[in-house]
């Protein structure tokens, strides 16, 4: 009886959490006339279309860069024979755990030295080299049997060939999880855009949504729903990869 009551309570709590998450969306879309009017304004107004495009244009280079760099860096951290590599990886984890607002100051200084402070590159480059992807991938592949790699080396395979043909197929799950997490994180950037971008023409939609203006509530309703859909779709389409990657599941045979 106790187990049954506990199960019922768990289901109730989960259902309540889902209801709280879905309620704002249901209220917004439930006001159909309001939503349709806002959606129409959103789709025909070039300003809002540009804001959405800015979000996409910022996100794609970040995901592409992480897709290439993070697996290679994780493999290097795992196979690199250097006595200080664990200390360096610990620094990686410290940086990963730092609040984004804390790292804005060094990012601001470095982007000034590079001459890219007031451009999209000031947002893209730090995000491309964010340590989250390296951490996730390295934590999974470090359980891979190194005997397989040694056998491949004895057969004459080079390191890049080993990475591409042996290791990369075993990273697909965690890479997918990494891309989903980075998608959501960088789809909703606000602080970085406000600090580094002076031209409002280059702002992403997330900045607009964070600064509700008088007289634009109708469009705001529609923009919030439309802007949420890509992240929701990404979660639904790749939820199995996300679970696999976060749980650091076993190696593929």
Short-list 123, 166, 122, 137, CA closest to 67: 137
pLDDT on residue 243: 66
Average pLDDT, the chain: 77
pLDDT in tens, 209-226: 776 554 556 666 667 777
pLDDT higher than 70, residue 139: yes
pLDDT on residue 199: 83
Between the alpha carbon of residue 73 and those of residues 39, 69, 201, the distances in Å are 43, 6, 35
pLDDT on residue 64: 95
The answer to whether 135 and 92 are in contact (CB under 8 A) is yes
Give SS3 for 131. coil
pLDDT in tens, 17-45: 666 666 666 655 555 555 566 666 666 66
The overall longest dimension of the chain from CA atoms, in Å, is 70
Q: pLDDT category, 58, cuts 50, 70, 90?
A: very high
Q: pTM here? A: 0.77
pLDDT in tens, 96-121: 888 887 888 888 888 889 888 888 99
pLDDT higher than 90, residue 67: yes
- Cα–Cα distance measured from residue 137 to residue 140, given in angstroms and rounded to the nearest whole number: 5
- Cα–Cα distance measured from residue 116 to residue 63, given in angstroms and rounded to the nearest whole number: 20
- Cα–Cα distance measured from residue 206 to residue 216, given in angstroms and rounded to the nearest whole number: 15
What percentage of the chain carries pLDDT values higher than 90? Answer: 9
Helix (H) or strand (E) run with residue 172 in it: helix 172-187
Q: Which CATH class, in words, describes the domain spanning 34-247?
A: mainly alpha
Measured between its terminal Cα atoms, the distance across the chain in Å is 43
Helix (H) or strand (E) run with residue 192 in it: helix 191-196
pLDDT higher than 90, residue 177: no
Break the chain into its structural domains and give their ranges.
1-30, 34-247
Short-list 137, 127, 132, CA closest to 79: 137
pLDDT higher than 80, residue 249: no
């Amino acid at each position: 009886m106790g187990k049954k009551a506990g199960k019922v309570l768990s289901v109730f709590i989960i259902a309540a959490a889902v209801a709280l998450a879905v309620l704002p969306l249901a209220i917004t879309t439930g006001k159909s006339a309001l939503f349709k009017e806002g959606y129409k304004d959103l789709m025909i107004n070039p300003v809002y279309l540009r804001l959405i495009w800015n979000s996409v244009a910022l996100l794609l280079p970040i995901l592409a860069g992480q897709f290439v760099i993070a697996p290679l860096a994780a493999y290097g951290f795992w196979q690199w024979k250097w006595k200080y590599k664990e200390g360096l990886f610990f620094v990686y984890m410290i940086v990963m755990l730092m609040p984004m607002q804390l790292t804005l100051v060094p990012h601001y200084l470095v982007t000034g030295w590079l001459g890219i402070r007031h451009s999209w590159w000031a947002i893209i480059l730090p995000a491309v080299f964010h340590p989250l992807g390296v951490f996730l991938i390295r934590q999974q592949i470090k359980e891979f049997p190194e005997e397989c790699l040694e056998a491949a080396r004895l057969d004459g395979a080079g390191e890049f060939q080993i990475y591409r043909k042996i290791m990369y197929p075993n990273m697909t799950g965690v890479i997918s999880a990494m891309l989903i997490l980075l998608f959501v994180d960088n789809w909703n950037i606000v602080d970085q855009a406000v600090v580094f971008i002076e031209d409002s023409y280059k702002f992403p939609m997330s900045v607009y949504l964070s600064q509700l203006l008088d007289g634009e509530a109708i469009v705001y309703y529609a923009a919030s729903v439309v802007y949420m859909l890509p992240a929701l779709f990404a979660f639904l389409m790749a939820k199995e990869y996300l679970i696999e990657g976060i749980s650091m599941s076993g190696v593929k045979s």
